[in-house]
Amino acid sequence: MIGAAKSVGIWAARLVGLLVVGLALLIAAMWVDHLAPTALPYPTGDFAVGRASYDWVDGSQSPEPDLASGGRRELMVWIWFPTGPARSMAASSEYLPLPWIQALRESRGALMTNLLQRDLSRVRAHSLLNSEVSSRLPAYPVIIMRAGMAALTTDYTTLAEDLASHGYVVVGMDAPYRTQLVVFPDGRRIARSRENNADLVGGAAKETMALRLESAWSDDIAFVLDRLEQLNVSDPSGQFTGRLDLARVGIWGHSLGGSTALQFCHTDHRCKAGVDVDGLPLGSVIKDGLDKPFMFLMSDHSREQDDPESIRIDANLKLIYRTLPPADRFWVVLKGANHFGFSDGALLKSPILQSVLHSLGVLGMDGQQQLTVSRRCLSEFFDIYLKGAPRGEMSSLNTLSNRQP
């Protein structure tokens, strides 16, 4: 008996040793992946892409209860645009400014920033800094882009750069206290407040919070469009003066940003066409419907078809869809797609982690493929409704869209 117990102990020790070695090798492999240089997919349009950023403050706004420092709206605004050669190629392809990367490292912790995703300082984008708007056309249509709840605008750089390469000025915004983290040019770091953290609530309270945030985000978009009008009249730098075609404005957003795009297109005449990327419907648009070109671009929710909340959301989406102009409505479901695969996270999360999730069936469609199809759908949709392009019979929209969901 003593010998048997000793043998079991030896094997248990060996097993623990193997597990420790295996875990060490896994961590080492994830660390190597973390440090590997990574480039985002190259834009598919004919234009090179530039990027600029602005710190805009709404001096006329009434104080809001969930904002600090007097409650004035202040947004970090990112603009991607068609450009020519950059004046300074040295800083042409950073994914995110270094102060943002440093702030994210401190706020997300070692596990997230060191093992579960790529090192953002080694991620290369394709936006040129210090560049001018391309002179190929007098002015370019504008697309407003709204990130998902707490996500950064730059989390959607792949989609933003691609649209800009097709001849659009793409504008996104990060709002302090509502976005996960905002770093302003003067060094201020402002994180999302508890009052705006949907992870801390559930049920009816979560929907109430979503409605409040959607209203605030819609106001953010309206403010940004007002400032773009001013910029178009007189940009202090001269860069965007007269270069924005604000008679042709499209809106798209992901998750709660998609909900906001849907509601904003309902309430603001400046929206000519919009896209809701995997966002649940909220607000008066559910009751009133929408009479504008619109696309619902969705991930695969087939596993949720028996969930009562998912059934309600699907019914509201289809209710709105039926009010859209029949010839100008699109219902696109990407089979196997993941809700979070519409952002750069589909490419920047640890490849080892993603392989494990694929093998477990948690992830279906490859992240690169999901972004590739999403880029085609967005550019084709806006080309039709902001540029008047013909609708190709073999386009992604026609082949993927279900006209009678």
pLDDT tens-digit profile of 240-260? 999 999 999 999 999 999 999
Highest mean pLDDT among 4-8, 210-214, 323-327, 400-404: 323-327
pLDDT of residue 88: 45
Lowest mean pLDDT, pick from 62-71, 146-155, 255-264: 62-71
**C-alpha span between 100 and 372 (Å, rounded):** 27
Residue with tokens 């991607």: 80
Mean pLDDT of 288-316: 89
- Looking from the CA of 315 toward its CB, the CA atoms found within 13 Å total 8
**C-alpha span between 309 and 312 (Å, rounded):** 5
pLDDT of residue 127: 93
pLDDT at residue 87 tops 70: no
**C-alpha span between 284 and 296 (Å, rounded):** 17
Model confidence pLDDT, tens digit, residues 367-385: 889 999 999 999 999 999 9
Domain range annotation of the chain? 36-400
**C-alpha span between 191 and 65 (Å, rounded):** 16
Q: Which fold has domain 36-400?
A: Rossmann fold (3.40.50)
Residue with tokens 């492999």: 29
**C-alpha span between 167 and 141 (Å, rounded):** 8
**C-alpha span between 396 and 399 (Å, rounded):** 5
Residue with tokens 């202090």: 236
Lowest mean pLDDT, pick from 82-91, 311-320, 382-391: 82-91
Residues 6+ apart with CB under 8 A from 404: none
Mean pLDDT of 68-83: 84
pTM of the model: 0.88
